[in-house]
A and B are shown apart, each in its own frame.
Chain A
């Protein structure tokens, strides 16, 4: 690492004692690059074995990488913590201004320990750290208002990130998210609930600095090449229709989970497609800091106030593929305006949209089958497509007026363990299903991935690009998933957005690292990827993870997918092979 690069500085904040200090950790950054690699080590160091995810001893780690601030699209922050949702490895990635702000503040990572008695928000302004009273913000119904108040009170607009939780985080819903710059999220695995347990309402980070490079001339040339590649070709689709461009192709293929995966095609998909939203509602496109792609799509929804004529409000609501799957197809909502209201509601309350969908879809089916009744639902008659009732149900998941809602607030796996209906409780590895019923690779990938998410190893892509054409043995599938997940450890240690994975091939990564003064050859990087992948499983095993106890919901096997070999036997064999590779 170059001498003046502050990347190896780790800021430790103790919320219990309201103290902070900085430690230089070149040992971690030299070996594990940054991002996911370094965060995994900081988690292993700071998270005591078997700790309560809601205890003060559960650390929250935020990490960025050496290319952040130097190259476009190295724009993600990796968060690590013990997940209250799965009781195991919690890892979530987020863009917005977060990564650039942390890097510009002069840190490679931030470790937040302890818990505050008083609600607070944390302000990290370069080398200064402030603990601010957030009592007035605690309990506020709308997380957008919280963002506005902090935005107006704190300095350095344009050079800061404002991460905050909503009511769901305060209420410790185990899949509460952290909203960043309003429209990006640490969405999955409940970071919002962990912040809630620490009485930490928000984190503001800001800074401004210059970063050293090894050779200015070479750096500027390389930057130009990367920038050009990032603004043409592979990434353009994310700018045009955005991630929802996938709705129609996935639906056509028969891989779009619908009504709790009772079907894999949604007859109203064309009403909630990327095309339909662009045509009818797209109001603005936004970018994360240092990302020329600008994939963030915001809908403008004009709604009348029912009490008075000629009285309207306009809400700006972000939409993406996964939230449309979860709160659209999965709960049968084909009315685009109803769907936007649902997306707005989870934003306002600070819930993970993806998990909320399968939780509601399970509850709907359980209600229809009589596993739960109107007393449990506090009078709500849940029915696929009825978004108005779902709006109420989402409120209740946060406020938890009955035992059912308290269970739903812990995810579908937990709710089904109490009320039954495991066969159609769509969680894999304890984390709710994402929007790909493309075949065995998607589901096996979800189960064996370190985060139990679709981006761990992109199984959905193997289904669509390989398995639809030819057969892979379960072992070949396992190998393909492990290989992709290991490489993604390198990308997420560099905190490169996965949307730019085709821009940052091995050769480009090596050259960019050289600019940052880091000499890694391709074989060393491959090895680091494998090693980080294993280190994550070291944490997972330590906390009780077992490949043998992974549950495959029957529904996944019953609903036809585009790939015919979706059998339990095939999936179990692939899982067993991954287990062998990772033990």
Chain B
């Protein structure tokens, strides 16, 4: 059955100015100001003159990160993406290895993955229209 879900989408990375306000927002969402808890990353595309790369979970319908997890700590969501069952995670980092876009970030303190949960908190702090929260039909791949 088709169902609408909210997805964080990167509307246009070419609009990104590299301010990283989304990263600060993502950490702040968890009441951890700073950058340690961000599930989104912005870095230059090999020098700022070439613009920026925005890295965040693409909500794969069959996520390699979950397949790689040896303890079943990453639970695949209906419509794609994962949620972490923290108590099952042993911090091996296999998920981070498996995600070829690098969107499974490891918390340097706990070693556990931080993966976007599509809450859209960052969107309000992207002043230049790079990010948006859009309703998409289940299993519809992100643009």
Residues of A within 8 A of B (CB): 69-70, 72, 100, 104, 144, 147-148, 151, 157-159, 181-183, 208-213, 216, 219-220, 223, 227, 231, 284-294, 296, 298, 316
* Chain B residues with CB below 8 A from A182, complex form: 47-49
Task: State the Cβ distance, B101 to closest chain A Cβ, in Å.
Answer: 14
Query: Do A104 and B35 touch (CB < 8 A)?
Result: yes
Q: Is B99 part of the binding interface, using a Cβ–Cβ cutoff of 8 Å?
A: no
Q: Is B72 part of the binding interface, using a Cβ–Cβ cutoff of 8 Å?
A: no
Task: State the Cβ distance, B45 to closest chain A Cβ, in Å.
Answer: 10
* Chain B residues with CB below 8 A from A227, complex form: 21, 125
Query: Do B17 and A287 touch (CB < 8 A)?
Result: yes
Please count the residue pairs between chain A and chain B whose beta carbons lie under 8 angstroms apart in the complex.
90
Task: State the Cβ distance, A98 to closest chain B Cβ, in Å.
Answer: 13
Task: State the Cβ distance, B36 to closest chain A Cβ, in Å.
Answer: 5
Task: State the Cβ distance, A165 to closest chain B Cβ, in Å.
Answer: 18
Smallest Cβ-Cβ distance to A207: which chain B residue: B35
Smallest Cβ-Cβ distance to A157: which chain B residue: B43
Task: State the Cβ distance, A34 to closest chain B Cβ, in Å.
Answer: 16
Classify the secondary structure of B's interface with A: loop
Query: Do B36 and A316 touch (CB < 8 A)?
Result: no
Smallest Cβ-Cβ distance to B105: which chain A residue: A208
The docked-state distance in angstroms from the alpha carbon of A181 to that of B28 is: 25
Given A208-B36, A210-B27, A291-B19, A286 contacting B48 (CB threshold 8 A)? yes
Query: Do A183 and B127 touch (CB < 8 A)?
Result: no
Chain B: how many interface residues by the 8 Å CB criterion? 28
The docked-state distance in angstroms from the alpha carbon of A286 to that of B18 is: 6
* Chain B residues with CB below 8 A from A157, complex form: 43-44
User: Could you jot down 10 A-B contacts, CB within 8 Å?
Assistant: A69-B34, A72-B24, A158-B44, A181-B48, A219-B33, A286-B48, A289-B20, A290-B21, A291-B21, A292-B21
Query: Do B47 and A286 touch (CB < 8 A)?
Result: no
- A213-B33, A290-B24 are known; give 10 further A-B pairs, CB within 8 A: A100-B35, A144-B47, A151-B46, A208-B108, A210-B36, A210-B37, A284-B51, A290-B21, A292-B19, A294-B17
Q: Which of B19, B32, B36, B108 contacts A294 (CB 8 A)?
A: B19
Task: State the Cβ distance, B129 to closest chain A Cβ, in Å.
Answer: 12
* Chain B residues with CB below 8 A from A69, complex form: 24, 33-35
| Complex interface residues of chain B between 89 and 125 (CB less than 8 A to chain A) | 108, 125
Query: Do A220 and B49 touch (CB < 8 A)?
Result: no
* Chain A residues with CB below 8 A from B43, complex form: 157-159
Query: Do B18 and A287 touch (CB < 8 A)?
Result: yes
Given A287-B18, A292-B21, A209 contacting B49 (CB threshold 8 A)? no
Smallest Cβ-Cβ distance to B55: which chain A residue: A158
Task: State the Cβ distance, A363 to closest chain B Cβ, in Å.
Answer: 31
Q: Is B42 part of the binding interface, using a Cβ–Cβ cutoff of 8 Å?
A: yes
Task: State the Cβ distance, B32 to closest chain A Cβ, in Å.
Answer: 4
Task: State the Cβ distance, B88 to closest chain A Cβ, in Å.
Answer: 24
* Chain B residues with CB below 8 A from A285, complex form: 17
Query: Do A290 and B19 touch (CB < 8 A)?
Result: yes
Smallest Cβ-Cβ distance to A298: which chain B residue: B49
The docked-state distance in angstroms from the alpha carbon of A183 to that of B42 is: 18
Query: Do B21 and A104 touch (CB < 8 A)?
Result: no
Query: Do A292 and B127 touch (CB < 8 A)?
Result: yes
Query: Do A70 and B33 touch (CB < 8 A)?
Result: yes
* Chain A residues with CB below 8 A from B21, complex form: 72, 227, 290-292
* Chain A residues with CB below 8 A from B33, complex form: 69-70, 210-213, 219
The docked-state distance in angstroms from the alpha carbon of A208 to that of B51 is: 22
* Chain A residues with CB below 8 A from B46, complex form: 148, 151
* Chain A residues with CB below 8 A from B31, complex form: 216, 220
Q: Which of B18, B35, B42 contacts A208 (CB 8 A)?
A: B35
The docked-state distance in angstroms from the alpha carbon of A284 to that of B47 is: 13
* Chain B residues with CB below 8 A from A147, complex form: 47
Task: State the Cβ distance, A517 to closest chain B Cβ, in Å.
Answer: 12
Q: Is B128 part of the binding interface, using a Cβ–Cβ cutoff of 8 Å?
A: yes
Q: Which of B28, B34, B49, B127 contacts A284 (CB 8 A)?
A: B49
Query: Do B35 and A159 touch (CB < 8 A)?
Result: yes
The docked-state distance in angstroms from the alpha carbon of A211 to that of B24 is: 11
Smallest Cβ-Cβ distance to A283: which chain B residue: B49
Task: State the Cβ distance, B111 to closest chain A Cβ, in Å.
Answer: 13
Query: Do B32 and A210 touch (CB < 8 A)?
Result: yes
Q: Which of B28, B32, B42, B128 contacts A223 (CB 8 A)?
A: B28
Smallest Cβ-Cβ distance to A159: which chain B residue: B35
